[in-house]
Amino acid sequence: MKTALSETAVGAVLSQGARSLAAAGLPAARLDAERLLGWALGVDRLGLLIEPLRQVSPHAMERFREALERRRRQEPIQHILECEEFGGLVLRTGPGALVPRPETELLVEWVLEREGREGPWRLAVDVGTGTGAIACALAVRVPHLRVLAVERSPAALALAADNIASLGLRARVELLAGDLLEPVAGAAGTVDLVIANPPYIRSADLADLPQEVRDWEPGEALDGGPDGMAVHRRLIAESPRVLRPGGWLLMEMGEGQAADLSAAMEAAGFEAVGVQQDLRGIERMIAARKR
Ligand SMILES: C[S@@+](CC[C@H](N)C(=O)[O-])C[C@H]1O[C@@H](n2cnc3c(N)ncnc32)[C@H](O)[C@@H]1O
């Protein structure tokens, strides 16, 4: 069913759009409507809100109507807008890669603190780079750092390549296609940091994810195997080969995975294992140092 947009002034169009999204069960309907109408008009949210009587042109109205229909089908807003902010950067997003999340911004902040204390670090590997979010944020914030960004999904590689190029980071972020640490085997013993936001949903739980994640984000970015930690375990086993002594492995993880991953890291000979919570108090990140 098409959303009826009978009004033409911004304030009224927004209200109609928000009602239409709310009726489709979208929890942040008003905010979504504001972002979509701002996008349709080519103005930011503030520009939209200070001019409620501004008239929406027929062209912008059609763009807004189409965007509303996509959002009503639970398509992530970042796929419609084709971008998302991450760590102060604007990244291109799309169905080929996970939409970067705020939790992962915290992972980057955690690395930056550590680098500030222990650096300068010269070489980092971002495993499963997706849109290139972590790699680009690190490269922008740490000007002396070179980042090798590994990814095996061709669609994600294309998005990451775009982001690295548009942020002017090609000289310091190298994109490599392949499986986990296999493409960086040549850097054995020299890497200061291996960082990853691996897929961490248990395969059996994928069906219970919110529809906008389950139906619209790539399975290979979500499915962490039977216990959700298959990729983490491989990184724990394989990263000591590329890390220098004293180098760090930092990973994002799912709720309830901290104890198993801490034990696995200790068993693999890592030291100084530490866990950090996200803003909801969930243990979300784990770090350990190679002896
Ligand atoms: C949870 S997403 C994280 C994406 C991005 N780092 C972020 O934080 O937004 C995990 C990514 O790892 C990639 N991936 C999964 N298994 C992989 C493997 N064996 N080798 C390389 N990349 C892998 C997926 O394609 C996906 O892009």
pLDDT at 99: 98
Whether residue 6 is predicted with pLDDT greater than 80 in this model: the reply is no
pLDDT at 45: 85
| Domain layout of the chain by residue ranges | 10-73, 83-290
pLDDT at 78: 98
For residues 233 and 264, is the Cβ–Cβ distance under 8 A?
Answer: yes
pLDDT at 5: 75
Q: Which residue among 127, 232, 252 is best mutated to probe the pocket of ligand 1, counting the most ligand atoms within 8 A of its Cβ?
A: 127
pLDDT digits (tens, 9 = 90+) for 266-276: 999 999 999 99
> What is the residue with the minimal CA distance to atom 14 of ligand 1?
128
With CA atoms as reference, report the closest residue to 77 among 64, 88, 60.
64
pLDDT at 46: 87
User: Ligand 1 — pocket residues by CB below 6 A?
Assistant: 97-98, 100, 104, 128-131, 133-134, 150-153, 156, 179-180, 197-199, 220-221, 231
CA of 220 to the centre of ligand 1 (A): 7
**One CATH from 3.30.470.10, 1.10.150.20, 3.40.30.10, 3.40.50.150 for 83-290:** 3.40.50.150
Atom index in ligand 1 nearest the CA of residue 104 equals: 8
CA of 65 to the centre of ligand 1 (A): 33
Average pLDDT over residues 11-31: 96
CA dihedral over 85, 89, 95, 98, signed as positive or negative: negative
**Structure tokens that stand for 115 in this block:** 């680098």
Whether residue 17 is predicted with pLDDT greater than 70 in this model: the reply is yes
Atom index in ligand 1 nearest the CA of residue 156 equals: 27
With CA atoms as reference, report the closest residue to 151 among 166, 139, 163.
163
pLDDT digits (tens, 9 = 90+) for 54-75: 999 999 999 999 999 999 999 9
Whether residue 53 is predicted with pLDDT greater than 70 in this model: the reply is yes
Helix (H, G, I), strand (E, B) or coil at 75: coil
pLDDT at 241: 98
pLDDT digits (tens, 9 = 90+) for 146-197: 999 999 999 999 999 999 999 999 999 999 999 999 999 999 999 999 999 9
With CA atoms as reference, report the closest residue to 252 among 277, 281, 225.
277
With CA atoms as reference, report the closest residue to 215 among 27, 68, 66, 79.
79
Whether residue 1 is predicted with pLDDT greater than 70 in this model: the reply is no
Whether residue 2 is predicted with pLDDT greater than 70 in this model: the reply is no
For residues 201 and 228, is the Cβ–Cβ distance under 8 A?
Answer: yes
pLDDT at 7: 77
pLDDT digits (tens, 9 = 90+) for 85-143: 999 999 999 999 999 999 999 999 999 999 999 999 999 999 999 999 999 999 999 99
CA of 262 to the centre of ligand 1 (A): 21
Q: What is the mean pLDDT of the chain?
A: 96
